[in-house]
Amino acid sequence: MKNELKMISLAMTLNCVRNTVIEKYHGEGKLSDADMKAFNKEVVNRIYTFLDTWLNRSDKERDLFLGTMAAQADGFVKTWDEPELDRNLWAGAKTMKERIRQIQQCKGSHLMHEKMAGDAAK
């Protein structure tokens, strides 16, 4: 479960934080590579800690942690827009899944051709 949470934390950081306007700022030079590295590390560690606490801790620890996080957020998020589902994120995931499948097929086909060529040379 820990390794899954680590992968989910990395995926959430990439898809929900890094691949946003923050990447635009990085591309424009407003954030250096060192800034991005530090930013990514902090975000992924916080997401991992949040998920681990939510899913793996005792009810008492989880309630204390999440209650504290919610109380802290309450003061900041009152002026934020309500969350909405990001249809572009969902569509992008479907597109990426298809691209990965195509790449895997291409690699598999390439490996099969190499194997067949090697077998034919014997």
SS (H, E, C) the chain: CHHHHHHHHHHHHHHHHHCCHHHHHHHCCCCCHHHHHHHHHHHHHHHHHHHHHHHHCCHHHHHHHHHHHHHHHHHHHCCCCCCCCCHHHHHHHHHHHHHHHHHHHHHHHHHHHHHHHHHHHC
How do residues 61-114 score in pLDDT, each as one tens digit? 999 999 999 998 888 888 999 999 998 888 888 888 887 888 888 877 666 556
pLDDT reported for residue 112: 54
Give per-residue pLDDT as tens, 25-53.
999 999 999 999 999 999 999 999 999 99
The whole-number average pLDDT for the span 6-12 is 93
The model scores a pTM over 0.85: no
